[in-house]
């Protein structure tokens, strides 16, 4: 006995036309296999609809808020490590030419330490000179440009600082505060 299209009608999700319904009823009265399938599917559907909608344990929303906060902290840490790593990598790249130049002067481990010592001393002296220069310049700015000019210079320095902080916020931290 052919079971099609009756099997498709039994298993299908669309309603049947009246003539299809009658044809199926006629077929089911004669076909034990399709009757078993039909009854079995009815039992399956009853089982599925009897199973209630499962609910989470109380406090789901609070647990979600905690998880969200945890993810934010984790994202902030990851971003901080990324920024730190990128800065370190950039510093290493920038140091490569200096190291190469220094290596040309190193003929032995002892000379390496001597050269490093000399470079460090040069750097320290250079910083001191730069500091002295800045101090003298700072003290002489009002004499050269007047109090208004000094204030403008200070305001420009502060403005640059604000721009720097805003840039850091925009590119390094904003995504984190917006929620990860």
Q: Tell me the torsion sign for CA atoms 159, 161, 165, 170.
A: positive
Quote the least distance from Cβ 5 to another protein, whole Å: 12
- By C-beta, is 30 or 143 nearer to another protein? 30
- By C-beta, is 43 or 89 nearer to another protein? 43
Quote the least distance from Cβ 68 to another protein, whole Å: 7
Quote the least distance from Cβ 11 to another protein, whole Å: 5
Quote the least distance from Cβ 138 to another protein, whole Å: 44
- By C-beta, is 43 or 120 nearer to another protein? 43
Residues that bind another protein (CB under 8 A): 7-13, 16, 21, 24-25, 28, 35-58, 60-61, 63-65, 67-68, 71, 178-180
Contact by Cβ (8 Å): 179, 72: yes
- By C-beta, is 41 or 165 nearer to another protein? 41
Contact by Cβ (8 Å): 86, 78: no
The pair phi, psi for residue 51, each rounded to 5°, is -70, 120
Cα 24 to the chain's mean position, in Å? 57
| Structure token digits, residue 171 | 């590119």
CA 16 – CA 22 distance, rounded (Å): 9
Contact by Cβ (8 Å): 47, 17: no
CA 29 – CA 22 distance, rounded (Å): 11
Quote the least distance from Cβ 28 to another protein, whole Å: 5
CA 109 – CA 35 distance, rounded (Å): 93
- By C-beta, is 60 or 117 nearer to another protein? 60
């Amino acid at each position: 006995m052919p079971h099609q299209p009756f099997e498709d009608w039994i298993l299908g999700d669309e309603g049947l036309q009246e003539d299809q319904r009658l044809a199926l009823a006629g077929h089911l009265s004669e076909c034990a296999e399709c009757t078993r399938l039909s009854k079995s599917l009815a039992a399956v559907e009853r089982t599925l609809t009897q199973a209630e909608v499962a609910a989470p344990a109380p406090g789901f929303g609070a647990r979600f808020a905690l998880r969200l906060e945890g993810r934010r902290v984790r994202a902030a840490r990851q971003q901080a490590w990324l920024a730190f790593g990128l800065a370190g990598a950039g510093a290493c790249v920038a140091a490569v030419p200096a190291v190469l130049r220094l290596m040309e002067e190193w003929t032995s481990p002892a000379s390496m330490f001597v050269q490093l010592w000399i470079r460090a001393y040069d750097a320290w002296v250079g910083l001191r000179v730069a500091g002295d220069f800045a101090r003298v310049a700072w003290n002489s700015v009002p004499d050269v440009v007047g109090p208004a000019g000094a204030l403008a210079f200070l305001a420009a320095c502060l403005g640059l600082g604000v721009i720097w902080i805003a840039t850091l916020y925009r590119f390094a931290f904003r995504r984190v505060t917006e929620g990860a």
